Amino acid sequence: MGSGLLDLGTAQHGLLHLLPAMPVEPVSVDDALGRYCAEPVMAQRTQPPADLSAMDGFAVAGDGPWTIVGESRCGAPFAGELAPNEATFVSTGAVMPGGADAVLIKENAEVEGRNLSATTPPASGRHIRREGFDFRSGDEILPAGARIGAAELALLLGGGCRTMVTARKPQLAIFETGDELLIDPKGDATSAIPASNGAMLAAMCAGEPCIARRHAPLPDRLDDIASALQAANEADLVVISGGASVGDHDLVRPALERIGAKIAFWKVAMKPGKPLMVATRGSQVILGLPGNPVSSFVTGMLFMLPAVRRLCGSANPMPVKLPVFAAEDLPPVGTRMEFLRGTIDADGGRPLLQQDSSGLGALAQANCLIERPAGCAGVKAGTVVPVYLLGNG
């Protein structure tokens, strides 16, 4: 790499590698939203449980015309067996009566009393959902590491699963450091600013099944930082923003050394976010994020969230990257990979003018980060570039 900094992918995988496996617990499917399967999930039933009609109309046996002999409704199947040229009314999702070989859809049917004929003859097997086409009892319906979203929740319920096994919710301790940080600075003091990173980082974790505890801002004092970190020994993951750089008042590294934590790596070839630090204390992982709010956000997205997701049991903890056209020419890149705050519209992605790593306004305005590889020449508008979409929590 030449710059002596770790490249992003190596650093991300290095971090994931350090994380311990969480103990697992059974949870009711009712409480499973947002959690991750700790083991593959098998269907407890077959879906559909029988051949079902896919349309409203008539279940028919033979070529017709037919005599209507009854009805098959959802929850109330036809009890008998159809003889050739017999038919029943059938609803979408109702069980096909025995002997029926097709569904004549309502739109193609002519009915007079109990007599049924077709304007367009039904093809044999048409509009029938075959037993077990979705899944059969014993099939794996979700792999280990899958996240339970709305569709997966429906799949679990449809599969007859009432509980699943998942990682215990990891505990996260979130700290922010800086003598200038106050929760609510009064008046026009120029020596103080509102602490915002802690709340932002906690908000970024809100969608994950973890227990994030946010602590009051810490002063730039070695004793205070060390004792706060010491006291957070129960947390599975500690995140501390600010004080991770090389200034005289950047005390996170000495504080980590004081409590006996081992620095795994420090400084990544990325912009913003270079001073990122990863340390371990026993099985606990400690993430030092840069204090500049945009740097904190970007490293939160690329390091903290993957770490949280991995602890929660995700098989795919990295944020999703998509190819998008550059809507304008993009400048060449230096020795660090860049993440440009940008916007995506119908023309593609374009960087915002303001790219300062402290700019909260531009961060909130951005709906994507445009990834630019280190050492890359400038590219023309229309080139496909990777982007991360931002929901901004």
Positions that interact with ligand AMP (CB under 6 A): 176, 178, 180-181, 193, 195-198, 241-245, 247, 250, 290-293, 358
* Cβ density class 166-175: b for 16+ within 10 Å, e for less: bbbbbbbbbb
Task: Report what 245 binds from ligand AMP, Mg ion, none; CB cut-off 5-8 Å by kind.
Answer: ligand AMP
Integer angstrom CA distances of residue 390 from 181, 320, 341 = 26, 10, 10
Residue whose CB is less far from Mg ion, 57 or 290: 290
Q: CB of residue 244 vs Mg ion: minimum separation in angstroms? A: 9
Q: CB of residue 244 vs ligand AMP: minimum separation in angstroms? A: 6
User: Which range of residues in 43-51, 106-114, 239-247, 343-351 is near Mg ion by CB under 5 A?
Assistant: 239-247
Residues 60 and 100: beta-carbon distance below 8 Å = yes
Max Cα distance, the chain (Å): 93
Task: Report what 172 binds from ligand AMP, Mg ion, none; CB cut-off 5-8 Å by kind.
Answer: none
Q: CB of residue 291 vs Mg ion: minimum separation in angstroms? A: 5
- Is residue 198 a contact point for Mg ion (CB under 5 A)? no
Residue whose CB is less far from ligand AMP, 248 or 345: 248
Q: CB of residue 13 vs ligand AMP: minimum separation in angstroms? A: 25
Task: Report what 143 binds from ligand AMP, Mg ion, none; CB cut-off 5-8 Å by kind.
Answer: none
CA distance 101 to 253: 74
Q: CB of residue 200 vs ligand AMP: minimum separation in angstroms? A: 8
- Is residue 159 a contact point for Mg ion (CB under 5 A)? no
Residue whose CB is less far from Mg ion, 290 or 313: 290
CA distance 180 to 73: 70
Residues 100 and 85: beta-carbon distance below 8 Å = no
Task: Report what 197 binds from Mg ion, ligand AMP, none; CB cut-off 5-8 Å by kind.
Answer: ligand AMP
Residues 273 and 304: beta-carbon distance below 8 Å = no
Using a 10 angstrom Cβ sphere, with 0-12 exposed, 13-18 middle and 19 or more buried, the burial of residue 282 is exposed
> Is residue 303 helix, strand or coil?
helix
Of 48, 122, 145, 178, the one binding Mg ion by CB under 5 A: 178
Q: CB of residue 177 vs ligand AMP: minimum separation in angstroms? A: 6
DSSP state letters, 45-90: S-BSSS-EESSSEEEE-SSS-EEEEEEEBTTB---SBPPTTEEEEE
- Is residue 122 a contact point for Mg ion (CB under 5 A)? no
Q: Is the peptide bond before 48 cis (omega within 30 degrees of 0)?
A: yes
Which residue's beta carbon is nearest to the bound ligand AMP? 291
Q: CB of residue 306 vs ligand AMP: minimum separation in angstroms? A: 21
Other residues' Cβ atoms within 10 Å of the Cβ of residue 196: 14
Q: What is the C-alpha end-to-end distance of the chain, expressed in Å? A: 33
Count of residues of this chain found to bind Mg ion when the rule CB under 5 A is applied? 4
Q: Which of residues 261-300 bind Mg ion (CB under 5 A)?
A: 291
Q: CB of residue 180 vs ligand AMP: minimum separation in angstroms? A: 5
Q: Strands 277-281, 262-266: parallel, antiparallel or unpaired by DSSP?
A: antiparallel
| Residues engaged in binding Mg ion (CB under 5 A) | 178, 242-243, 291
